[in-house]
């Protein structure tokens, strides 16, 4: 008798990626359960499922596919997204539940507002992945006896010490037999670790750096070896109604991109007028509250300087915004805290390619461990816009070594160490 691979809870957002992930898991013989996370919409009544979890009743669209999505679609987790997810689950004949995580998600919005009010730039997607998609969702998997949790992220889980697909697809590089055959070996420990998605244009490993090492054996990324066009081709083969649904491109609870509105609603004390100064301390204007600004920001400063100027620093204690030209944004190093490393034996200092924001191109650097979960990252070349509150993530090719939360930029002198290639530094 052939045994099924196991029971898996797949997070279904109503988008094409998670829908195709569910399709592939069914194809592979898993016992699949679809789960939608309701995080704030008021539609639908809340009940308790058989395991005592707060669930939301999603109206059944019957045999009629949901309405075609608007090209302006920017958020996720709406009632219409829930309906899309439920319809796809019905097509696949798998159980589907919508759980109410409104309270937990409200805490993430509080974090978002708190960080801006503190002069930091938050990354709620990382926090949502850590606390909900691979936190609460893993708890739910335990409650229903599921071995695995799966999502539609463009990332992979690989086995260190064995052959791993290396290189991935560079931006604009087509997938060919030659590119698919790329391989690299990463030696160390024989444990499961996080890898970049095969399609570098869609890779989401940056926002997954905070996953707990202990759960990697239970995480599945079914589309991690695919490109976005291939995902849409599979969706078309299944005739999924959301096959042409556009990607969510903004923070789901701020689809209008008005971050200041959210911060002002929750932390009005972060909107006290104050001085805007240049690097010498000379007052050059007034600001409308620290919570409205982020390092690297150019728009909305309201200062005529005769050249482009940017926010280069936020002083919450003195309620002061510092501005300067593009060169003033360059920093040679940073200090980060709450480091999460997936790989053992890296030593007190190690070379890596690092990303300091989601769309940043990874650059060579040396990572120095410090006490208390802190690290100091020294770039080979100064980098623009090191932003407190964002994540710095460390890579060795496709392997995610780990990451940390940026505390502040730093230009302390250090002993230079060559970082021509990622790996151990002796």
Active site residues: 128, 252
Structure tokens at 74: 């920017």
CA distance 408 to 334: 6
User: Which ranges constitute the DSSP H helices of 99-165?
Assistant: 102-117, 124-128, 137-144
- Surface-to-core class of residue 143, CB atoms within 10 Å of its CB (0-12 exposed, 13-18 middle, 19+ buried): middle
Sign of CA dihedral 382, 385, 389, 390: negative
- Surface-to-core class of residue 327, CB atoms within 10 Å of its CB (0-12 exposed, 13-18 middle, 19+ buried): exposed
CA distance 172 to 116: 35
Question: Is the separation of the CB atoms in 327 and 307 below 8 Å?
Answer: no
CB atoms within 10 A of CB 418: 10
Residue 338, C-beta contacts closer than 8 angstroms, at least 6 positions apart: 373, 404, 405
- The three state secondary structure string of 341-379 is ECCCCCCCEEEEEEECCCCCCCEEEEEEECHHHCEEEEE
CA distance 336 to 377: 8
CA distance 92 to 18: 13
Structure tokens at 339: 């480091």
- Read off φ and ψ for residue 23, nearest 5 degrees: -60, -45
CA 255 to chain CA centroid, nearest Å: 16
CA 33 to chain CA centroid, nearest Å: 23
Q: To which residue do tokens 């899309």 refer?
A: 84
Q: Which of 78, 55, 75, 74 is nearest to 66 (CA)?
A: 78
Secondary structure of residue 200 in the 3-state scheme? coil
List Cα–Cα distances, 157 to 216, 229, 355, in angstroms.
7, 21, 19
CA distance 222 to 151: 7
């Amino acid at each position: 008798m052939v045994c099924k691979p196991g029971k898996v809870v797949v997070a279904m957002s109503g988008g094409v990626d998670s829908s195709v992930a569910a399709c592939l898991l069914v194809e592979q013989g898993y016992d699949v359960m679809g789960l939608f996370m309701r995080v704030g919409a008021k539609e639908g009544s809340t009940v308790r499922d058989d395991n005592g979890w707060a669930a939301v009743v999603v109206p059944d669209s019957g045999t009629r596919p949901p309405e075609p999505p608007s090209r302006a679609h920017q958020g996720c987790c709406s009632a219409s997204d829930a309906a899309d997810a439920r319809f796809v689950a019905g097509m696949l004949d798998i159980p589907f539940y919508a759980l109410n995580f409104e309270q937990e998600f409200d805490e993430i919005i509080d974090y978002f507002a708190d960080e801006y009010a503190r002069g930091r730039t938050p990354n709620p997607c990382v926090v949502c992945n850590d606390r909900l998609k691979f936190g609460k969702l893993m708890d739910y998997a335990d409650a229903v006896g599921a071995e695995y949790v799966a999502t539609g992220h463009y990332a992979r889980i690989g086995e260190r010490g064995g052959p791993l697909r290396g290189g991935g697809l560079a931006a604009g590089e087509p997938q060919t037999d030659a590119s698919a055959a790329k391989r690299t070996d990463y030696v160390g420990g024989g444990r499961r670790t996080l890898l970049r998605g095969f399609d570098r244009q869609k890779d989401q490993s940056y926002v997954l750096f905070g996953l707990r090492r202990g759960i990697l054996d239970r995480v599945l990324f079914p589309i991690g070896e695919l490109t976005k066009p291939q995902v849409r081709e599979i969706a078309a083969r299944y005739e999924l109604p959301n096959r042409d649904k556009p990607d969510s491109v903004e923070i789901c609870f701020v689809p209008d991109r008005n971050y200041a509105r959210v911060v002002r609603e929750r932390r009005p004390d972060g909107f006290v007028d104050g001085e805007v100064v240049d690097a010498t301390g000379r007052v050059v204007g007034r600001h409308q509250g620290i919570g409205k600004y982020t390092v690297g920001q150019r728009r909305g400063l309201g200062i005529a300087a005769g050249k482009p100027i940017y926010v280069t620093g936020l002083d919450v204690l003195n309620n002061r915004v510092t501005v300067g030209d593009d060169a003033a944004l360059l920093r040679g190093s940073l200090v980060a805290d709450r480091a999460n490393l997936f790989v053992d034996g890296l030593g007190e200092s190690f070379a890596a390619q690092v990303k300091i924001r989601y769309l940043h191109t990874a650059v060579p650097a040396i990572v120095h461990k410090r006490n208390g979960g802190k690290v100091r990252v020294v770039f080979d070349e100064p980098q623009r816009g090191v932003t407190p509150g964002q994540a710095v993530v460390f890579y060795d090719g496709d392997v995610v070594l780990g990451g940390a939360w940026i505390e502040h930029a730093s230009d302390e002198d250090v002993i230079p160490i060559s970082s021509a290639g990622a790996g151990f530094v002796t």
